[in-house]
Structure 1
């Protein structure tokens, strides 16, 4: 069966307060066109459909409009799992209706492992593949914390329970394969942070558990898995160098440090006899550029981009000493009347006010908590090791608050 593995759409995400709905819409249109043109039979989306647990109406309209369009293509089966950014309740709310269109949605782990296992059929209605749909596993979903646990014990217990959940669901898949009396390939979906996984600074990838607990390595996954379709990390990569254990990565650059990085979806041809994985490049729907240098160098580079009639979004990293207001005024004047847009101005001088507005219509409530923290941290002269300690402490607070918010759902 030929299917697409993708994840981490983050529909509704803003970049320095800039809305990106046009990019998300163009990506989803491109994906639907590709599925139709290539006669893809199934689509697996491994979490983080939305950027927040409370996506706006426009974000939801793009998501459901895309699923509606798929119904008229060769893609007769879709499996979607929730990521750590998603609300399990919101994703699962229309699941009974979506199931009528062969769209399976798993937001939270089910009590019965078999309820997370789906038999996918080919265009001749013959059994073709078994999918284990395992969403992001929150600590409270899979275990009960014990009084007096130290960090090391908690980490070991958490890894054990995550691994055990994958084992139980894959065991149910093996039962289903035996019932069908055919060597059907088993594909598992998951949303987690594996050991050795690579990230890019500023890409928005969060640690899923306080202190980085709960990471599995390549050897922790059941041997029965023929292909593992993971989400959470935004760069496409293998797990532990294993060809069949994959992150598809996010289809759009989530931050300026990903500018120029090729984004892909993974087309997978999985049969009992072979596994073929083809990265398919996603077009760039909005160019991002990072410019470095002193003011004169930044102005020269902006002038060149204007001559090229570029419509890039810019992050400017100023090197030198210049009063904040004057720097900002000259840079904004340089892009006036062009299609260029400055989203962020960074400076190496801590006294220039790293939390000041970086675009004229930017307000504090448009920034993520991570962006606010990083801007504040960027305005200090703390050494690198101290900054890492502060990031970890901040991450622990945010993770705890996120867990509390989801407990209240």
Structure 2
């Protein structure tokens, strides 16, 4: 028996880039993905978490999601018999789960939250004749409360150990359930597991927005957590396509578009997995670039030459500019805006280290950045800019308010992780 699945993850629908909407990119990607499903005869689509970038996606973002599911699941021309969607750490489990019973009637299986009943995460997929063709262990993002109990006086090491053990036990038990189901069916069909987590030894890139899923324990899950019962493990959370533990069956497909300039040169992929019986064969499918991102660095002359080359090529890239000279920020800003004026290029960010370098100029040979608190660094930046003294109190108070807001968000995130 043969089966063809497509593995994707980390769509992050609704994400912006330095305040710029990326709706057109997500729309283009989903249109391309639906076309790929149709042209390649994909029978099962699995999406391993982080469907949305926030827990409260906007109406336009939701519309993209449901229009895509409508095209994949309801079109009479679609070869896709099943869609399996699990939550990621960016998603709201309740938001994803809300329409799941309705969607299930169209063979769209959504698992937003772990319920405590592991059998709820196991789906037997059947062909159009009703014969079993695969078992999917659709494990959603496992929150702290799903996999460990809190005990008074436990240390950070205890917490990390219990989290690691909890993830491993969850997958061991769900593998046992899947194996029993496969034996009861009497069919040598593949068992496909899903997961949204950080596997030890895997890599990220700067600026990809990958969050630490468990406070203090970023990469606590070893590849040995996935029993050999699983013929293929479709992983999400990391934006770089890669194998976990070097195993062909344990794969991250990565995000479909660059989530930041750190991913701008990365070839994005979805993974086609063809099964003959239980043996998987993985094919990497390249995703087109829907919005080019370019990082430019250097002096004003070097940056101007780089921009001129992009203009000559007719590029419509969004630019992140890293200026390395001594000109004031206002001069750099004006020069860069003049360089892109009348072109398709768009500056999204200019990084100018001159004020910060001046602010951190050591007053003593043994002074280091680690010895300065954030307010002191900000105060020195104000000095470097020559800020009007009458404005300093308000600016400092605004900066302190930003710091308080960040700390409150961190505390809230830790509380949510521990619930």
Give TM-score, length-normalised by structure 1: 0.87
* CA offsets 1:51-79 (integer angstroms, 9 cap, x no match): 01111111111001000000211101010
Question: Which residue, out of 80, 84, 91, partners 2:85?
Answer: 80
1: distance between equivalents of 2:301 and 2:29?
36
In structure 1, the residue matched to 2:274 is: 269
CA contact (8 A) 1:12 1:59 kept: yes
Q: How does 1:187-202 map to 2 (within 5 A)?
A: 187-202=192-207
2:322 maps to what in 1?
317
Contact 1:184 1:271 in 2 (8 A): no
- Say if 1:47 and 1:231, in contact at 8 Å, map to a contact too: yes
How far, CA to CA, are the matches of 2:357 and 2:315 in structure 1?
Answer: 29
| Structure 2, gaps ≥5 residues long | 360-373, 383-404
Q: 1:58 aligns with which of 53, 60, 66?
A: 60
Offset at residue 122 of structure 1 (A): 3.1
Larger Rg: 2
Aligned residue for 2:230, secondary structure, equals coil
The answer to whether the 8 A contact 1:84-1:208 is kept is yes
**TM-score, structure 2 normalization:** 0.85
For structure 1, list consecutive stretches of 5 or more residues without a partner in the other structure: 355-371, 381-393
Deviation at 1:351, TM superposition (A): 3.8
- The answer (yes or no) to whether the contact 1:202–1:255 under 8 Å persists in 2 is yes
Q: Partners of 1:226 and 1:399 in 2: how far apart?
A: 38
Task: State the match for 1:401 in structure 2.
Answer: 412
* C-alpha separation in 1, matches of 2:90 and 2:20: 19
CA distance in 2, matches of 1:56, 1:246: 30
Q: How does 1:242-391 map to 2 (within 5 A)?
A: 242-351=247-356
- Alignment match, 1:94: 99
Q: 1:190 to 1:299 in 2, by over 3 A?
A: same
What CA deviation, in whole Å up to 9, does each residue of 1:120-148 have, x standing for no partner?
12344321110000011110122221111
CA apart distance, 1:352: 8.4
2:177 equivalent to 1:172: yes
Counterpart Cα distance in 1 of 2:257 and 2:307? 24
CA deviations over 1:321-380 (Å, ceiling 9, x no partner): 1101111011011111111000010123234899xxxxxxxxxxxxxxxxx99x98xx79
Contact 1:310/1:339 (8 A) holds in 2: yes
Instruction: Name the CA shift for 1:353/1:29 in 2 (closer, same or farther; >3 Å).
Output: farther
Match of 1:134 among 119, 122, 139: 139
Alpha carbons of structure 1 residues 213 and 23: separation in structure 2 relative to 1, 3 Å: closer
How far off its partner does 1:21 sit?
0.2
For residues 214-233 of structure 1, the aligned pairs below 5 Å read 215-233=220-238
- State how far apart, in whole Å, the 2-side matches of 1:190 and 1:273 are: 19
Aligned residue pair count = 375
Moved over 6 A (4+): 394-397
Q: Secondary structure at the match of 2:6?
A: strand
Cα distance in 1, alignment partners of residues 160 and 407 from structure 2:
14
Verify: 1:118 aligned to 2:129, yes or no.
no
Displacement of 1:189 in angstroms is 0.2
Matches of 2:408 and 2:197, distance apart in 1: 20
With over 3 angstroms needed to count, the CA separation of the structure-2 counterparts of 1:395 and 1:45, relative to structure 1, is farther
Tell me, in whole angstroms, the C-alpha distance in 1 between the residues paired with 2:246 and 2:286: 21
How far has the Cα of 1:111 moved from its partner? 2.2
Q: Is the 8 A contact 1:120 1:128 kept in 2?
A: yes
- The change in CA–CA distance for 1:58 and 1:214 in structure 2 (over 3 A counts) is same
- Which whole-Å CA distance do the structure 1 matches of 2:263 and 2:358 have between them? 25
Q: C-alpha separation between the residues in 1 aligned to 2:218 and 2:144? A: 10
Decide whether the 8 Å contact of 2:196 with 2:237 is kept in 1: yes
1: CA distance between counterparts of 2:212 and 2:68?
29
